[in-house]
Amino acid sequence: MRHLKRTAKLGRTSEHRNAMLANLVCSLIEHKRVTTSLAKAKAARSVAEKMVTLGKKGTIAHRRLAVARLHQESAAKILFKEIAPAFKDRRSGYTRIIKLGQRQGDASQSAILEWVDNVVPAAAPGAPAAEAKPEEKK
């Protein structure tokens, strides 16, 4: 019986799924927003939020856990230096999922996964996302 088993299988083996989600979260950390399928975005959301929670704790042990999960030390550095301190006052809900509609090739539901505090103007599907620049205070 599969009672309380909520892992999204995504048609992959566990090793492939873990590697794919780690890469997706690393891309989210580096680029601040990623466009993917809705199912992958929902699966990656929980991994990303757990990584931010590790980043907020900030110890060496938590940094090692994050590197072990993400497999990229550069992404862990960005997570601990930039992203986690930005969410220090927020208890949870670090990411948002914006549904885009169906993909042209296979009609899969598409979505954008991004950080909540990242203010980026919405772009048309398929267009590269523009980086938002903070306004200067006068």
Query: Which pLDDT score, from 0 to 100, does residue 2 have?
Result: 83
At 136 the pLDDT is: 59
Q: What is the mean pLDDT of the chain?
A: 89
Q: CA-CA distance, 27 to 18, in Å (whole number)?
A: 14
Domain 14-115 = CATH 3.30.390.50: no
pTM of this structure:
0.81
What confidence category does residue 81 fall into, taking pLDDT thresholds of 50, 70 and 90?
A: very high
What distances in angstroms separate CA 98 from CA 18, 106, 130, one per listed residue? 23, 19, 16
Tens of pLDDT, residues 19-77: 999 999 999 999 999 999 999 999 999 999 999 999 999 999 999 999 999 999 999 99
* Beta carbons of 115 and 36 less than 8 angstroms apart: no
Confidence (pLDDT) at 129: 55
On whether the CB atoms of residues 111 and 35 are closer than 8 A, the answer is yes
